[in-house]
């Protein structure tokens, strides 16, 4: 059985990825539990508590790691504005340490969860991987710099796949984070506070992609040679405005709540959405679906009242 390492294994995407791959690989997971708290118990899973910017967690891995999924890091643009040093350490330093670990392990692939934040804002209808990145936030800058380090490590023998993830959402996302993920923030406010305070104007927009689709791509990468040394957008390719999200929430939540637009998030993107031509060519698991319908299905399934 092949061995993989998943960093950030207790976060939303990481924990769902562990569950998806647990019967296929022996999995080592590293997480500092600063955000995620869920530790999966399974004969094929070994959990290591630790911070990826430090060296000692990797010393606990005594077997050869075939594939590394690097999902750990600080993921809030707003937090990065207030504490850029923490963002630098938790995003860039962790990546460099993991790259060195991958070299020593002679791992077959380094799979990196990057972000649409590397693009900043764009006047293009849809942004492709060929569009020159211009991040607005420190978070986007640290992700882009991590990408550049990964590409330079190709000269040291690293084979990589970089996924620029757009706005991921899903049923098992914990609703207690008010700094990251638009849908998560909005649902958290409505459920926990009975109101919705939106930072920024209603004309901003996002590209929302369901967690299941993201996991399909993650699972396919080790067996798909077309993904080697590629940077790939992972989005729905559909633009949804903030005002449309608010209306969807009002129409599909059986609970009255007030909506207030107030201030703005520092260095927030107005919006971009993904050109998916490359993903469509590369991934066998590529599917096209209506994002609004998918979001409505999820919200109705939550039965919020």
How confident is the model at residue 73, as a pLDDT? 82
Distance separating alpha carbons of residues 31 and 50, to the nearest angstrom: 6
- Shared domain for 23 and 103, answered yes or no, is yes
Distance separating alpha carbons of residues 3 and 25, to the nearest angstrom: 6
Per mean pLDDT, which of 23-27, 190-194, 268-272 is the most reliable?
23-27
How confident is the model at residue 81, as a pLDDT? 73
- Shared domain for 33 and 150, answered yes or no, is yes
Grade residue 305 by pLDDT with cuts at 50, 70 and 90.
low
294 part of a folded domain: yes
> In percent, how much of the chain has pLDDT > 70?
97
pLDDT single digits (tens) 177-216: 766 788 989 999 999 899 999 988 899 999 999 999 999 9
pLDDT single digits (tens) 255-265: 889 999 987 77
How confident is the model at residue 77, as a pLDDT? 63
Mean pLDDT of 40-55: 92
Token pair listed for 120: 């900043």
280 part of a folded domain: no
Going by C-alpha positions, the residue among 7, 109, 29 that lies closest to residue 67 is 109
- Shared domain for 182 and 227, answered yes or no, is no
CA-derived radius of gyration, the chain: 19
How confident is the model at residue 34, as a pLDDT? 81
- Shared domain for 88 and 224, answered yes or no, is yes
- Shared domain for 163 and 187, answered yes or no, is no
How big is the chain, counted in residues?
Answer: 305
Cβ contact 162:230 at 8 Å: yes
Tokens 């937090």 label which residue?
Answer: 79
Whether pTM exceeds 0.85: yes
- Shared domain for 140 and 175, answered yes or no, is no
In angstroms, how far is the first alpha carbon of the chain from the final one?
45
- Shared domain for 263 and 163, answered yes or no, is no
Give the domain extent around 297.
171-206+238-272+289-302
């Amino acid at each position: 059985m092949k061995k993989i390492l998943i960093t950030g294994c207790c976060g939303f995407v990481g924990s769902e990825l562990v569950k998806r791959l647990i019967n296929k690989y022996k999995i080592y997971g590293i997480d500092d539990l600063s955000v995620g708290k869920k530790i999966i118990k399974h004969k094929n899973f070994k959990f290591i508590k630790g911070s990826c910017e430090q060296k000692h967690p990797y010393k606990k891995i005594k077997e050869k790691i075939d594939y590394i999924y690097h999902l750990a890091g600080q993921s809030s643009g707003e937090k990065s504005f207030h504490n850029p040093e923490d963002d630098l350490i938790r995003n860039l330093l962790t990546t460099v340490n993991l790259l060195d670990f991958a070299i020593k392990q002679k791992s077959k692939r380094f799979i990196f969860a990057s972000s649409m934040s590397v693009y900043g804002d764009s006047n293009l209808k849809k942004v492709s991987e060929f569009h020159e990145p211009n991040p607005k936030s420190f978070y986007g800058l640290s992700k882009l710099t991590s990408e550049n380090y990964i590409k330079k490590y190709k000269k040291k023998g690293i084979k990589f796949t970089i996924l620029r993830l757009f706005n991921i959402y899903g049923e098992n996302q914990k609703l207690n984070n008010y700094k990251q993920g638009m849908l998560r923030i909005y649902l958290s406010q409505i459920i926990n506070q009975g109101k919705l305070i939106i930072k920024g104007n209603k004309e901003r927009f996002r590209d929302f992609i369901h967690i299941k689709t993201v996991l399909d791509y993650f699972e396919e990468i080790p067996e798909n040679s077309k993904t080697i040394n590629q940077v790939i957008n992972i989005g729905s390719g559909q633009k949804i405005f903030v005002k449309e999200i608010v209306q969807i929430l009002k129409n599909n939540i059986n609970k009255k709540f007030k909506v207030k637009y107030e201030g703005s998030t520092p260095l927030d993107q107005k919006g971009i959405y993904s050109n998916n031509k490359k993903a469509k060519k590369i991934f066998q698991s590529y599917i096209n679906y209506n994002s609004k319908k998918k979001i409505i299905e999820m919200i109705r399934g939550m039965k919020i009242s």
